[in-house]
Amino acid sequence: MRYVRATAEDQARIQDFLSQFVDDYLAEHIAAYFSSDSGGVYMALDEENQLLATGIVELARPQEVYVSGMRIRPDLQGGRLGQEFAEFQVQEGKRLGASVIRSLVGRGNEFSQRILQETLGFHVVDEWVVGSFEGFEAPAFAEGDAGPAWAVDQERLRAFVKQHEDDLWSGKDHWLPRRLTFEDVWQGVEVGAAAVAPQNIGDPVDTLALFRITDGDMHLNYLRSMGQHLKTLLQYLRVESRAWGVKTLHFGLPRHAADKFIEAADLPLAREWHGVVLEKHVGLTSSSVV
């Protein structure tokens, strides 16, 4: 058996392979990984070039690798291939320069969690929720003290991010949790995709959100609220969604933020997926050499 990094030519074959896994988000989602500069989709092939398994190794940012999407051909499951493939994903992650490797496993997927935790030494760092709301419509006009974050907010935003430096967010992909940095927030400010409350720069930040609007949908990628201004900020997101004619809001958030958001939004969830974020520090530290 050998592991091969897939190219765009392999996409159809892999989509066909994935079609045998029921209710699997990956089939509609994997296309994005064929255009990665490094890492991406990998295949396990036997001597006859038969496709035995697939998996993803994504360089989320320098030194931060994300492994996911492991799919073992159903007739081969329970035969240790999953464990071997996960070991390959970790080695490939290290080859790509990782100092931390993260993975997302669906709630109740004990086999995957067992491979990552018991065999490869990952540990759970957070719970994760991916979901969508229908009917995220805007009020006629916005009330309250929330709005876009501006350049003048830099210092209080920096203080807020420092206070929550272990926070995870879902950059361009709700299924890919990564550590939030001040640079991520500043990029959001520069493109008008960061919302903050209260607006008065003399007040500390209470609530911060990073979002983007693509193809008529709003995507909430980061949310942290100290509780006072969450509803006000949601009101502002609704105004933004009205401005862009948004009907559906999607999110990928840590459980603590998702629970607060779902409660405050008070709307039916069209889709809800729960899982855990597992993490492993790799590199030349005595305690965690693989």
Ligand X SMILES: CC(C)(COP(=O)(O)OP(=O)(O)OC[C@H]1O[C@@H](n2cnc3c(N)ncnc32)[C@H](O)[C@@H]1OP(=O)(O)O)[C@@H](O)C(=O)NCCC(=O)NCCS
Which stretches of the chain bind ligand X, using CB under 6 A? 21, 70-72, 77-83, 105-106, 109, 111-112, 114-115, 119
- Which of 80, 271 has the CB closer to ligand X? 80
- Which of 218, 278 has the CB closer to ligand X? 278
Query: How far is 180 from 173, CA to CA, in rounded Å?
Result: 13
- Given its phi and psi angles, is residue 137 left (phi above 0), alpha (psi -120 to 50 degrees) or beta? beta
- Which of 77, 163 has the CB closer to ligand X? 77
Q: Rounded to the nearest whole angstrom, what is the least distance from the CB of residue 67 to ligand X in the complex? A: 10
- Which of 81, 269 has the CB closer to ligand X? 81
- Which of 97, 106 has the CB closer to ligand X? 106
Residue number closest to ligand X, CB atom: 82
- Which of 114, 212 has the CB closer to ligand X? 114
Q: Rounded to the nearest whole angstrom, what is the least distance from the CB of residue 26 to ligand X in the complex? A: 8
Cα–Cα distances in angstroms (integers) from residue 142 to residues 145, 216, 221, 237, 276, in the given order: 9, 20, 22, 9, 35
**Angle in degrees, CA 226, 231, 232, rounded to 5:** 95
Cα Rg of the chain (Å, integer): 20
* Residues in contact with 282: Cβ distance below 8 Å, sequence separation at least 6, in sequence order: 90, 93, 94, 98, 99, 100, 101, 288, 289, 290
Q: Rounded to the nearest whole angstrom, what is the least distance from the CB of residue 90 to ligand X in the complex? A: 14
Among 136, 143, 135, smallest CA distance to 238 is for 136
Write the DSSP string, 159-214: HHHHHTTT-EE-SS-TT--EE--HHHHHHHHHTT-EEEE---TTSPP-EEEEEEEE
Query: How far is 244 from 214, CA to CA, in rounded Å?
Result: 10
Q: Rounded to the nearest whole angstrom, what is the least distance from the CB of residue 104 to ligand X in the complex? A: 7
Q: Rounded to the nearest whole angstrom, what is the least distance from the CB of residue 280 to ligand X in the complex? A: 15
- Which of 86, 210 has the CB closer to ligand X? 86
Q: Rounded to the nearest whole angstrom, what is the least distance from the CB of residue 11 to ligand X in the complex? A: 19
**Angle in degrees, CA 93, 94, 98, rounded to 5:** 80
Q: Rounded to the nearest whole angstrom, what is the least distance from the CB of residue 27 to ligand X in the complex? A: 12
The gap from C-alpha 253 to its chain's centroid, in whole angstroms, comes to 7
